[in-house]
Structure 1
Amino acid sequence: MSTIGPHAAAPEPVRRIRALHTERTVTVYQAYAPALGLPAARDGRFPAAWKRERMTWIKPSFLWMMYRCGWGTKDSQETVLAVEIDRAGFDWALRHACLSHYDADEHPDRAAWKQQLKAAPARVQWDPERDLHLAPLPYRSLQLGLAGEASRRYADEWTVAITDVTPLAREIHARMRAGDTGAAAALLPEERPYPAPEGTPGLLRVS
């Protein structure tokens, strides 16, 4: 983990993908019950019990994941996973994504949006990014929903490594409770702007 926090650069555009990434991989976060999360981290892949036919939401923002799972304290979200996936797979999902809600600037009408949403293997949702206090920031963070082909490929093809980062979440949370914001910030993953691939719909462009 880097000692550089994900929100050091300002001002941020209202929506932009920020993620911990390398030339080959991008890291996303999910939280599960220990019965599923611990075997996934142990084996570096999702077990058979992971339902590939269901939609799964991946979050490139560590702090948004902390907001969602309450630092790993919420029921069935006690195990926080950092899932390193192939960038080619992540980019494929972005190129095939549809916005999760109707937007007149992106769709000619609601019927067209509903048709696109039904057919798309991935969907995009923009939610307020969070600070270390888990308070909303004035810019938004990507959530990427994967269904059907995208969900199966995520679990069985794109996943490069799975790490249990619950101890990291607890350590950052403990430092925040102690009032040591600087030390907590130093532990955050380095999330940098992620370039949307060629062919990405307008809904993913920087705005």
Structure 2
Amino acid sequence: MVYAFQAPEVVRIVSEICQIEHLIPDENLYAGGISMMGNGHYLHPHLDNSHDKDRNFWRVLNLLFYVTPDWKLENGGNLELWPDGLEGKPITITSKFNRLAVMATHNNSLHSVSPIDFEGERCCVSNYYFSETPLLEDDSFHVTSFRARPGNTMTDALLQVDTALRMNLRKLFKKGIKENPHVYKRKDK
């Protein structure tokens, strides 16, 4: 199922719907794949990193396919988009079973996952598509950059320091200090 999103016909359809030409699916599943979140789990608002694992291509789309039957809004674990930054209210997209959310990724695509308040797990299949060019002309290289939810100033300050340190390390070591372990190596290749 994970690699179904990389089938040429699926990539072509997503390309047509999103009106983005020459999409490149990520066969390494760099930070993609299957995720499971349980009670109390969440993701802070963040920007996904801007490139593929080798920094050759720009990350332009994040595909999130929700596969937990009977998931409801009140369970939490929902995608939150922050188009007006942390000063605005997030747009919530329920992690409803069989829903595919396709999200643009660029310097302003701040998003999060709301805290789960449910005794069970929310599962998601995620894939990224890349391109030779960024979605926005003013996009720039960045590592995954976390922020805290509004009102958590101490956590936000710590997360911004963490991002700054990791960005400076990436300036020194273009591909990181060690090979990223969040890469899948297909056995059939």
Larger RCO, structures 1/2 (Cα 8 Å, 6+ apart): 1
TM-score by length of 1: 0.26
